Chain A
């Protein structure tokens, strides 16, 4: 039979001899033992100290009534335990992450199901109710007879999340370990979805989630978040962890983030980062964010213009390349100067012996790092670019601006 947490709260409890023991005020799950089994019931007894009934001491459960299979004397006194998840306190009315629906929702009620074995009933948590039926139950329980509520709620649209798709949010890291809360399921979400979820949470919850994600995911999420949030998060993470995450970000994204921090904090973070990455970011920080230099990514792929398609492909297969960089290839002439750009699509269709120089886009476009962002937008718009090379005074390429940089700048404006 199905039962709801609301219907169980306040249930009168009788022992094996039929004596009244107390009322159920709270019940717990011990995630370390079984992830969805109700392990303990807290029985309040007015002035006396509350007792605890274990899952194997329950004989039957019904709306408003619980029967034990042992005498009152077999029950232990209640002592708080950090590794128990309290359904009323930790779950009801709190926010959880629905990993399947990819959003933050508030728990109205919890659905339980009975599991019978000889003389014993165990309750298993099946799903959390986040819809109207739960709300109605919470409002009317104890005011209106349970049968009427059940009839009423059957007519309402259901909105529930299966327990295995529920990701709890617990700001306290110690408690999180005790309750076996992991964020593995979150790491499978797209960083943009995860960023939306994180934005809906409070600061401490946000912090706890970012801190427990692996660095790569955390970096991707930070890249998607609102700038105001990223600075708060990075400042609270502590320099070591923050530097680890920054390392995983694209240098231009890392530079954008650091530019919003105070000078001391950003210096501290750069000192924590490995030399080469830190230097790249430092150099980017010298540019005004509203110029080509401030928008570009210093990581890009370049090859000699005389090489053939086959040579280039073979070389690229051997490298550990980031897909974001793999949109357009920059060409250099024999003097190491910028001589053109080849989109991957052209490369794909070309015969294997074709020289790179013959594939390049016309006209030859590039901008100095000091060019302002309007010029960048105009070039992208006019020539329908996907990537634009930034060159220094000697016409050597120093970075590339990709279309996603342009889109995110435009959205911010």
Chain B
């Protein structure tokens, strides 16, 4: 009788995998490696182009034509430099930004960062739902229908999805930003002039121009995005070995974000600025004005872009905020947990969405004031967060060989100081100027 533990002998089966197959497998492996990492950077940067952002870009294009396009290149650098530091921290330490602040600076600083964050983000969420309402009004849908539906959609998306599914949807939303590209093409701009203004700086010293410039920077770089970016890399379990891919993701994200801004400004410059509609105050008005100027298609695409951006940011902001707070206070967080496992996380998330949407629906709600508060809040919160980031990323005991190099530090501090100065100016104008500041 022949029994025994059979250890397979595969004669005649061996080395079927030819050389070609192996090479294809290698290529596939490298591609999967990149795809496995890509996402956080792309999503974070694109979600910067939210309702408030698009309003500012629209105004920039309408009031100054192509003249502000040159600021996009330095802004891309600033965005990349700051985001890269967070990505690096997430990848190297495997910990979120609020985790690190808690471990290195203690309970109280963390608590205050998070409480501020909660209220600032809540104001931002209101702004996003206001964006949804404005965009849907162009399609003749009442805000009393549009906003509740949007809120429920956003809530369900995250509650029912896994990280992977949600990320795929977010990446798809990034692609939808391309509607601004088509909108710009339909507006038949002077591409040569636009290109020239992009590379040749055009600094004017009148106050309106400078305020617009600070508005651009202030809305593009928001403090909450750093928490979100770092947390996504952590939740995605990207390790130090995949740092090059993570960096590529952040770089690609920063550039694609600015390319979209470019198209928004070009679209409005070619139409509103040229035809003299220069007193546009928000994106919805711009979309409306585009109908007669560049045709129905351009206007619809523009409004659709605003809707997409608002919805996109409205789903990420509450998520990021709930994440930050739970992480810092030591509660279970993350959408891979079930409701019962991460009760506080989901409660905060729900609260932000419900309150955010409800405020927009309140008759006679002081939306304008809330928008200003969100901008001022971002402005006050940003310096604190950026300084925490710079202190942490220079800690050798945390970062090991991945600490900032001297050159990078110089670039980072200059960027940080410039950004802080500009946001403080913006905060000042938002608080003390009688007229509405950009983005409101």
Contact = CB atoms under 8 A, between A and B. Distances in A.
B13 A203 contact: no
A286 B107 contact: no
Task: Indicate the member of B3, B7, B9, B106 with the most A CB atoms within 10 Å.
Answer: B3
A108 interface: yes
A298 B1 contact: no
A304 B5 contact: no
Interface in A105-119: 105-106, 108
Given A108-B330, A228-B36, A276-B7, A332 B13 contact: no
Contacts of B108: 138-139
Interface string B99-119: 000110011100100000000
A175 to B, nearest CB: 12
Contact of B5 (A201, A203, A205, A299): A299
Given A286-B16, A299-B5, A302-B6, A204 B237 contact: no
Chain A interface residue number, banded: 35 or more
A398 B106 contact: no
A106 B7 contact: no
Task: Indicate the member of B237, B238, B240 with the most A CB atoms within 10 Å.
Answer: B237
Interface in A250-282: 260, 262-263, 276, 280
Given A304-B3, A306-B1, A283 B14 contact: yes
B7 A298 contact: yes
B7 A138 contact: no
B241 interface: yes
A315 B10 CA distance: 26
Given A302-B6, A307-B3, A232 B329 contact: no
A283 B4 CA distance: 20
B197 interface: no
Interface in A175-211: 199, 201-206
A283 B1 contact: no
B94 A201 contact: yes
B435 interface: no
B340 to A, nearest CB: 13
B94 A336 contact: no
A92 B110 CA distance: 13
A8 to B, nearest CB: 16
A55 B57 CA distance: 65
B439 to A, nearest CB: 34
Chain B interface residue number, banded: 35 or more
Given A301-B5, A302-B6, A397-B6, A93 B12 contact: no
Contacts of A306: 1
Interface in A98-137: 105-106, 108, 130, 135
Contact of B241 (A93, A202, A232, A393): A232
B275 interface: no
A303 B14 contact: no
Interface in A275-331: 276, 280, 283, 286, 298-304, 306-307, 311-312, 315, 319, 321, 330
Interface string A372-413: 000000000000000000001100011100000000000000
Nearest to A130: B330
B8 interface: yes
B13 A392 contact: yes
Contacts of A139: 107-108, 111
Interface in B336-389: none
B207 interface: no
A72 interface: no
Task: Indicate the member of B4, B8, B12, B17 with the most A CB atoms within 10 Å.
Answer: B8
A369 interface: yes
A158 interface: no
Nearest to A334: B2
B16 A203 contact: no
Contact of B3 (A199, A299, A315): A315
B74 interface: no
A304 B3 CA distance: 6
Contacts of B103: 93-94
A286 B13 contact: yes
B113 to A, nearest CB: 13
A229 interface: yes
Given A93-B106, A286-B15, A369-B13, A203 B6 contact: no
A235 interface: yes
A135 B3 CA distance: 64
A226 interface: yes
Contacts of B10: 283, 286, 392, 398
Interface string A220-233: 00000010110010
A139 B102 CA distance: 13
B102 A106 contact: yes
Nearest to A285: B17
B26 interface: yes
A135 B282 CA distance: 43
B277 interface: no
B13 A283 contact: yes
A201 B12 CA distance: 45
B237 A229 contact: yes
B14 A286 contact: yes
A202 B93 contact: yes
B8 A280 contact: yes
Given A332-B2, A392-B13, A283 B8 contact: yes
A392 B107 CA distance: 63
Interface string A138-180: 1100000000000000000000000000000000000000000
B237 A319 contact: no
Contacts of B7: 276, 280, 298-299
A203 B102 contact: no
A263 B21 CA distance: 13
A336 B15 CA distance: 24
B2 A304 contact: yes
A106 B330 contact: yes
Nearest to B336: A199
A165 B95 CA distance: 24
B189 interface: no
Task: Indicate the member of A202, A283, A321, A393 with the most B CB atoms within 10 Å.
Answer: A202
Nearest to A286: B17
Contacts of B29: 260, 262
Interface in B295-348: 329-330
Contacts of A232: 237, 239, 241
Contacts of B329: 106, 135
Nearest to B240: A203
21 contacts: A92-B106, A92-B107, A93-B106, A106-B102, A130-B330, A135-B107, A138-B107, A202-B94, A204-B94, A229-B237, A232-B241, A235-B241, A263-B26, A280-B7, A298-B8, A300-B6, A302-B4, A311-B1, A392-B13, A398-B9, A398-B10
Given A202-B93, A307-B3, 12 more contacts: A108-B330, A135-B107, A135-B111, A138-B108, A139-B107, A262-B29, A263-B22, A280-B7, A283-B10, A332-B2, A392-B10, A397-B6
Interface of B: 1-10, 12-17, 22, 26, 29, 36, 92-95, 102-103, 106-108, 111, 237-241, 329-330
Across the A-B interface, give the 4 residue pairs with the lowest CB-CB distance, nearest first: A106-B330, A202-B94, A138-B107, A303-B3
